[in-house]
Structure 1
Amino acid sequence: MSLRFARRVERSPRSTRGTDRSPGFARRAGWACALLALAGCGGAVRMDPPSPEPPAAAACRALAGRLPQVLDGAERTESDPPSPYVAVWGAGEIGLRCGVPRPANMAATDQVPVVDDVAWFADPARPALFTAIGRAAYVEVTISRAHAPESVLVELAVPVKAALPQTG
């Protein structure tokens, strides 16, 4: 998403409006920063954290410490609100939530792809959403079209396997 901000500043010899000496400059700059953060153009990216049960929460905290700083070329960034159960890369291009509920539309007979020993449920209703299943916690990953899902899932397989043991 791209936002364009235009500001018309008129100056006269007697006015300091629109300059750094203006009393309202700091307030306007603060609003601009807030708008950019909300747009995902800077600062933290808004992502609602899940509320995992205690065993899943412990596994998710272990996963948080193993996640990469760079994923498929995107730098890790802060989430809003900060949470050990959420990770974001780029300007929200890749989002991970650990400790989510079992996917509601996943049937016991669904065939799921396995990437480096991690099974991923690909939600047919939401093609950018993948959920790691068969582990101590469900891990939901949303991947934008700017990234190849197979690359992202391969890179996430190592920390998922290391932090979340398989369940029976």
Structure 2
Amino acid sequence: MFVYRLIAGSAALAVGLLCACAGPVTVPAPQPTSAAVVEACDQLNHALPSSVLNAVRRTTEPQTPTTAAWGDPPITLRCGVTKPSGLTPTASLLRVDGVDWLPEQRSAGYVFTTVGRQAFIEVAVPSAYAPETGVLTDLAPAITSAVPVVTQ
């Protein structure tokens, strides 16, 4: 029993060190357009989970409250992005745990952007994490608690 725990603990430590040694993830920082968006992004940054789909949170470059990343390949989050061009009156949206998202398929996965919140939040999910919507479930509690709903 002790040997098993020691091996399991060593494996977990090795995985953690691999993520830590991978270095920071370059995530282009958005430029929020209002004080309310800056505040919402700051609140979100403090509420974000330490892991998403068991992928450990990583440092971003530049280090800013508008960006976050988890795992390798990295799942990235950018808070305070501009309204996505694909958001039209006829766009198909997803609702995951109280958060509305605009999904956009890309060659290497999906980009999801929140809709109807104080800030547009963009989450890029590599296809390695398919089904990519699982990430949204892990992020929903932080978003619902930190970024207010707005009425259009």
Q: Same fold (TM over 0.5)?
A: yes
The 5-angstrom pairing of residues 102-113 of structure 1 reads 102-113=83-94
In structure 2, distance between residues paired with 1:117 and 1:97: 19
Match of 1:34 in 2: none
Shift of 1:110: 1.4
Question: CA contact under 8 A between 1:45 and 1:91: conserved in structure 2?
Answer: no
- Taking only the aligned residue pairs, the percentage that are identical comes to 34
Change over 3 Å in CA distance of 1:92–1:56 after alignment to 2: farther
Structure 2: segments with no counterpart, 5+ residues? 1-20
The 5-angstrom pairing of residues 73-92 of structure 1 reads 73-92=54-73
> 1:43 and 2:23 equivalent?
yes
1:137 to 105, 116, 119: 119
Match of 1:97 in 2: 78
The alignment yields a C-alpha RMSD, in angstroms, of 1.7
> 1:167 and 2:147 equivalent?
no
Deviations 1:70-116 (CA, angstroms, capped at 9, x unpaired): 11010001001111100000134200000000001221121201001
| Aligned residue pairs, count | 129
Larger gyration radius, structure 1 or structure 2: 1
Aligned-partner SS, 1:65? helix
Question: Counting helix residues as a fraction of each chain, which structure ranks higher?
Answer: 2
Highest relative contact order (Cα 8 Å, sep 6+), 1 or 2?
2
Question: Counting strand residues as a fraction of each chain, which structure ranks higher?
Answer: 2
Moved >3 Å (runs of 4+)? 124-127
TM-score by length of 2: 0.79
Aligned-partner SS, 2:47? coil
